[in-house]
Amino acid sequence: MTIKPIPTRYDGILYRSRAEARWAVFFASQGVPFRYEEEGYQTRRGWYLPDFRLTQADVFFEVKPDHPTPDEMDKASALAFGTGRPMFVAAGPPDLGTVVWRVFPDRLRQEWRWACESGDDRVAYLLCGEQDLPPVGFRLREDVTDLPDQYRPPTAALEAAGRYQFQ
C-alpha cells in the first residue's frame, strides 16, 4: 500500500506534500528566497521537476518523504550534471534529525548536517561532516561571509516549521 502525500497550501501556493510546505515555511522564516517547482528539465535520466530552487544561492532543493532510493538519487545527480547547479535532497520535513545530502553530477553524495544559527540574522548553514572538505559547503543566505565561532543548529526556525498550523 502506498501512502499518498497531503497537498498543502501555504502563502498562496499549493504544495504537493505537507513536508514540502514545511520546507517553504522554514525557508520563508529564514528569509531565503525560493521558487517552488519553477521549471522542469530534460536530463539523461528523463524529465525532472525539482521541488525548490533557492534563488539567491542558485541551488536546487528536493524533498523526499523518507530516505531517497538509489534511483531517486541518480535522477538528482542527472539534474546536477545537466544544469551545473548544486543539488540537495532532504529526507522528510525540516527538523534537527533530518538528513540532507548534497548530490554531485558524478553520482557521489555526501551527508550534510545543520551547523548554526547566527545571532539576529538567524542564518542557517549546512556543513559536510567530512574533515577534508571546507566547513562551509552551502549557506542558505549569501549575505554572511564567515561562520561564527560557536555553531548551533537553527532550532528556532526548524521548530517553527514543525509547529506551523496550515489552514
Q: What is the pLDDT of residues 102-143, one digit of tens each?
A: 888 877 777 766 654 455 444 455 655 444 443 333 444 434
Domain ranges of the chain: 8-163
Find, among 139, 131, 45, the residue nearest to 88 by Cα.
Answer: 139
The CATH classification number of 8-163 equals 3.40.1350
Give the distance from CA 24 to its chain's centroid.
10
Query: Which residue in this structure is represented by grid cell 535522477?
Result: 75
User: DSSP code of 95?
Assistant: -
Of the listed ranges 10-19, 70-79, 124-133, 158-167, the least confidently predicted one is 124-133
pLDDT at 155 over 80: no
Nine cell digits for residue 126: 549546512
